[in-house]
């Protein structure tokens, strides 16, 4: 396993490295512990908008030069925004690491946020919103989030709403950056052919002058956070698109290991129950999948499917039947072993990629304050029993926790009643 080390600078910035001496590359990410759930309603989408703007130039580099400085030696540069973090990252040849670190730290601290660039990028993001709304599989997930989290920031799309993007001013973005991009919630994650001490020394030089200030807070999820059950939407589509979600616990809950096994059995891959029943046996879907999304204090398990437009009710019946089966009978010994072997195998394969290792480390530090070694995860996964899986299924699959979003070309008179009845049986 790669050698992982972490050091905290005097201003609170954390540097985590994974030494992988057999590779010829390095992946580096600058992480800010802030994302969509930190945004006030009137600034929904500001984290993602700011991420775009960080590429638009600094005092030292134009937007074009930012790209050229990485891509000129064959490197790759990008960023992503999540609910609780934003990451700016590059993958380069190992001897170009310091150049990539300089570019990313310059963007992170010195982006100009010029008004003319902001106005141009506003149009880009508005088109991005329209693009996603034209994709029913994306739209149905947006609808489900609104149901699961009601008026909580987790229910808002990370990209924002057209009206909030239209109203966003430079002063709003600059203030948000000042209040959230702080060394105490900044993580530098580096994986590849690297030396930890030299990375810390370089980080001190590039980021050590950032003033130490407290990290931002977010609105927590409580039992009072609302959840709605059902949303049906007509749209000109060739398939019916369905998303079923249940609210879960947060990342610190040790049941997350059982959850990984349960999700693998239910719908993670081609061997899963949902795939085998809905697609292979009944031919109702090309895509049928389940996934888990855990945040600091809450989360969701989501089942998504693109179904035969005329047989979406049959698809729902099959999904509910598989949920009942998870609750009523322990999984078989062979199913349990296959699921655990799959999770363990995926973890071990991910170690070979510098990008995967960098993302895993950065995400761990932002979420848990420490790196969770894969062998620790594997040990916990291996200890999961069939009774654990059944117990968790009975806990999470309840009608009061479950929401459903559906996009169909045409709603029939009895559809709403049918789906409410199906939800009542969970």
* DSSP one-letter code for 280: I
Q: Residues 155, 196: one domain? A: yes
Q: How far apart are CA 418 and CA 316, in angstroms?
A: 10
* Closest of 86, 42, 101 to residue 186, by C-alpha: 86
Residue 322 inside a domain? The answer is: yes
Residue 290 inside a domain? The answer is: yes
Residue 223 inside a domain? The answer is: no
Q: How far apart are CA 366 and CA 359, in angstroms?
A: 11
Q: Residues 277, 170: one domain? A: no
Averaged pLDDT for residues 392-397: 98
Q: Residues 236, 202: one domain? A: no
51 catalytic per annotation? yes
Q: Tokens 């909580």, residue?
A: 152
The percentage of residues in the chain with a pLDDT greater than 70, rounded to a whole number, is: 100
From its phi and psi, is residue 112 left (phi > 0), alpha (psi between -120 and 50) or beta? alpha
Q: Residues 262, 177: one domain? A: no
- CA-based radius of gyration for the chain: 23
Q: How far apart are CA 290 and CA 272, in angstroms?
A: 9
What's the pLDDT band for 118 if we cut at 50, 70, 90? very high
Instruction: Encode pLDDT of 231-263 as tens digits.
Output: 999 999 999 999 999 999 999 999 999 999 999
What's the pLDDT band for 222 if we cut at 50, 70, 90? confident
Cβ burial of 276 (10 Å; 0-12, 13-18, 19+) is middle
Cβ burial of 230 (10 Å; 0-12, 13-18, 19+) is middle
Residue 306 inside a domain? The answer is: yes
Strand-pair partners of 230: 404
Averaged pLDDT for residues 412-425: 96
Q: Residues 376, 308: one domain? A: yes
Q: Residues 10, 104: one domain? A: yes
For residues 348-366, b (16+ Cβ closer than 10 Å) or e, as one string? eeebebbbebbbbbbbbbb
- How many alpha carbons lie under 13 Å from residue 191 in its C-beta half-sphere? 20
Instruction: Encode pLDDT of 6-39 as tens digits.
Output: 999 999 999 999 999 999 999 999 999 999 999 9
If one counts the domains in the chain, the total is 2
Name the catalytic one among 39, 41, 42, 51. Answer: 51
Residue 287 tokens read as 């895509």
Amino acid 2: pLDDT: 72
Strand-pair partners of 243: 304, 405
Residue 218 inside a domain? The answer is: no
Let me know: does 251 contact 224? Beta carbons within 8 Å: no
If you average pLDDT over every residue of the chain, what do you get? 97
* Closest of 313, 335, 349, 350 to residue 268, by C-alpha: 335
Q: How many residues does the chain have?
A: 426
Least confident range of 3-7, 91-95, 123-127, 213-217? 213-217
Please say which residue of 173, 207, 241 terminates a domain.
207
* Closest of 137, 126, 34, 121 to residue 80, by C-alpha: 34
Give the containing element (helix H, strand E) for 287: strand 285-294
Runs of H (alpha helix) within 72-168:
97-110, 115-133, 136-149, 162-167
Q: Residues 26, 172: one domain? A: yes
Rounded-to-10 torsion of CA 298, 301, 307, 313: -90
Amino acid 224: pLDDT: 79
* Closest of 162, 219, 231 to residue 37, by C-alpha: 219
Amino acid 223: pLDDT: 78
What's the pLDDT band for 283 if we cut at 50, 70, 90? very high
Q: Residues 186, 94: one domain? A: yes
Q: How far apart are CA 97 and CA 108, in angstroms?
A: 16
Amino acid 1: pLDDT: 63
The percentage of residues in the chain with a pLDDT greater than 90, rounded to a whole number, is: 97
Cβ burial of 72 (10 Å; 0-12, 13-18, 19+) is exposed
For residues 408-421, b (16+ Cβ closer than 10 Å) or e, as one string? beeeeeebeeebee
**DSSP assignment string, 94-120:** GGGHHHHHHHHHHHHHHB---HHHHHH
Q: Residues 291, 400: one domain? A: yes
Q: Residues 294, 346: one domain? A: yes
Strands (E), 295-398: 299-308
Domain extent, residue 341, equals 230-425
Residue 340 inside a domain? The answer is: yes
For residues 203-220, b (16+ Cβ closer than 10 Å) or e, as one string? bbebbeebeeeeebebee
* DSSP one-letter code for 210: S
Residue 304 inside a domain? The answer is: yes
Runs of H (alpha helix) within 222-311:
256-263, 273-274
Q: Residues 237, 383: one domain? A: yes
Averaged pLDDT for residues 74-96: 98
Q: Tokens 């010195």, residue?
A: 110
Averaged pLDDT for residues 215-230: 89
Amino acid 394: pLDDT: 98
Q: Residues 119, 181: one domain? A: yes
Residue 225 inside a domain? The answer is: no
With a CB cutoff of 8 Å and minimum separation 6, the contacts of 104 are 28, 29, 30, 88, 89, 90
Q: How far apart are CA 156 and CA 9, in angstroms?
A: 34
CATH number at residue 419: 3.30.830.10
Averaged pLDDT for residues 228-232: 96
Instruction: Encode pLDDT of 289-324 as tens digits.
Output: 999 999 999 999 999 999 999 999 999 999 999 999
Q: How far apart are CA 282 and CA 289, in angstroms?
A: 15
Q: How far apart are CA 410 and CA 209, in angstroms?
A: 59
Averaged pLDDT for residues 126-150: 97
Q: How far apart are CA 150 and CA 247, in angstroms?
A: 12
């Amino acid at each position: 396993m790669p050698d992982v080390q972490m050091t905290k600078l005097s201003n609170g910035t954390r540097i985590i490295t994974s030494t992988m001496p057999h590779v010829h590359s390095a992946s580096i990410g600058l992480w800010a512990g802030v994302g969509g759930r930190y945004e006030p309603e009137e600034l929904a989408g500001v984290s993602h908008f700011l991420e775009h703007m960080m590429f638009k130039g600094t005092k030292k580099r134009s937007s074009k030069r930012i790209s050229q400085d990485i891509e000129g030696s064959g490197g790759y540069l990008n960023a992503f925004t999540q609910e609780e973090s934003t990451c700016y990252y590059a993958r380069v040849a190992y001897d170009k690491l310091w150049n990539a670190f300089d570019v990313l730290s310059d963007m992170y601290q010195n982006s100009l946020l010029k008004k003319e660039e902001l106005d141009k990028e506003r149009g880009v993001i508005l088109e991005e919103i329209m693009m996603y709304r034209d994709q029913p599989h994306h739209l149905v997930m947006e609808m489900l989030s609104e149901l699961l989290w009601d008026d909580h920031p987790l229910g808002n799309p990370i990209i924002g709403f057209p009206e909030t993007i239209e109203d966003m001013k430079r002063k709003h973005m600059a203030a948000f950056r000042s209040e959230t991009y702080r060394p105490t919630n900044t993580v530098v994650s580096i994986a590849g052919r690297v030396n930890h001490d030299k990375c810390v020394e370089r980080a001190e030089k590039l980021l050590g002058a950032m003033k130490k200030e407290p990290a931002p807070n977010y609105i927590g999820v409580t039992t009072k956070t609302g959840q709605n059950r059902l949303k049906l939407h007509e749209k000109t589509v060739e398939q019916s698109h369905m998303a079923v979600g249940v609210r879960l616990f947060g990342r610190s809950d040790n049941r997350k290991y059982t959850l990984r096994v349960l999700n693998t059995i239910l719908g993670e891959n081609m061997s899963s129950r949902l795939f085998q029943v809905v697609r292979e046996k009944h031919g109702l879907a090309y895509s049928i999948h389940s996934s888990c999304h855990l945040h600091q204090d809450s989360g969701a398990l989501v089942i998504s499917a693109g179904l035969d437009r005329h047989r979406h009710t049959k698809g729902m019946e099959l999904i509910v039947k598989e949920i009942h089966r998870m609750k009523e009978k322990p999984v078989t010994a062979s199913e349990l072993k296959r699921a655990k072997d799959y999770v363990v195998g995926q973890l071990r394969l991910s170690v070979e990629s510098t990008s995967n290792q960098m993302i895993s480390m950065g995400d761990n530090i932002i979420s848990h304050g420490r790196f969770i070694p894969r062998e620790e995860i594997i040990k916990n996964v291996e200890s999961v029993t069939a009774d654990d899986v059944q117990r968790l299924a009975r806990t999470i699959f309840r009608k009061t926790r479950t929401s459903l979003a559906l996009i169909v070309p045409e709603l029939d008179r009895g559809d709403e009643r049918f789906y409410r009845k199906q939800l009542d049986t969970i």
